[in-house]
């Protein structure tokens, strides 16, 4: 397979799952950008797509038709070695936009290569979560499970996050400088994701 012998730099794609389209400020976009920046320190190139800026349809197929803009995002997912889901927390849970993205990725179960592997096989997934308060662990649990189910590999310490104290309303984007623990966690995520993606690009999983 092409990707196994490639000497191109690793690529990452951050899908930012804020509920609001640009140009609203977004804490999850900010944390997603910082993950990209940390990945660049490991020679990983990448982009961020703010999903709410696109017309993505609800569904569980690769193309829902009628102007669905998921197919273009999907191509970027398939071109990437590392997928990062950046999502806000609402009510202690992943955002509906995040769930919509995961549902679209469910279609990959039926999209396999000549040896029966999903096209997502060998890709690494990370998570970036922000909220005023409470929910980051559960959000990462939901995302890990959905993405492992559809062929992604989850690195050690696969999530970076920030949340405030219980029932507070401060935003991550209003914390300046960034809380150091989150910054350190982002660095660990980036290092681990890049290492794992490079191993899996060089040596694909066995055929299904």
d(CA 17, CA 43): 25
From candidates 103, 111, 171, 178, binder to its own copies by CB under 8 A? 103
d(CA 116, CA 185): 35
d(CA 29, CA 88): 9
Q: Which stretch binds its own copies (CB under 8 A): 2-10, 32-40, 78-86, 177-185?
A: 177-185
Does 165 contact its own copies by CB under 8 A?
yes
d(CA 141, CA 160): 13
Q: How many CB atoms lie within 10 A of CB 130?
A: 29
Binding map of its own copies across residues 15-44, x = CB under 8 A, - = no contact: ----xx------------------------
Exposure of 135 in the CB half-sphere (CA atoms within 13 A): 20
Does 72 contact its own copies by CB under 8 A?
no
From candidates 13, 144, 186, 197, binder to its own copies by CB under 8 A? 144
Q: CA dist 102 to 63, 84, 95, Å?
A: 14, 12, 11
Q: Please, what is the minimum distance in Å from the beta carbon of residue 50 to its own copies? A: 12
Residues 6+ away with beta carbon under 8 Å from 184: none
Q: Please, what is the minimum distance in Å from the beta carbon of residue 100 to its own copies? A: 4
Binding site for its own copies (CB under 8 A): 19-20, 52, 58-60, 90-97, 99-100, 102-103, 106, 118, 120-122, 133-138, 140-142, 144-146, 148-159, 161-168, 179, 181-182, 185, 188, 191-192, 195-196, 199-200, 203, 205-206, 208
């Amino acid at each position: 397979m092409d990707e196994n012998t490639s000497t191109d730099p690793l690529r990452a794609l951050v899908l930012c799952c804020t509920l609001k389209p640009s140009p609203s400020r977004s804490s999850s976009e900010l944390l997603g950008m910082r993950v990209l920046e940390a990945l660049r320190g490991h020679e990983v190139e990448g982009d961020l797509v703010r999903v709410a800026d696109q017309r993505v349809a609800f569904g569980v197929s690769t193309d829902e038709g009628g102007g669905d803009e998921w197919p273009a995002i999907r191509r970027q997912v398939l071109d990437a070695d590392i997928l990062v889901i950046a999502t806000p927390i609402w009510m202690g849970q992943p955002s509906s936009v995040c769930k919509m993205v995961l549902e679209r990725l469910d279609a990959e179960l039926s999209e396999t290569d000549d040896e029966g592997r999903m096209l997502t096989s060998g890709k690494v997934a990370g998570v970036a979560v922000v909220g005023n308060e409470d929910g980051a662990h559960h959000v990462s649990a939901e995302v890990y499970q959905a993405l492992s189910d559809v062929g992604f590999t989850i690195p050690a310490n696969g999530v970076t996050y920030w949340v405030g104290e219980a029932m507070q309303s401060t935003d991550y984007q209003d914390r300046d400088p960034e809380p150091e623990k989150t910054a350190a966690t982002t660095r660990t995520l980036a290092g681990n994701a890049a290492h794992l993606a490079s191993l899996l690009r060089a040596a694909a999983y066995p055929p299904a």
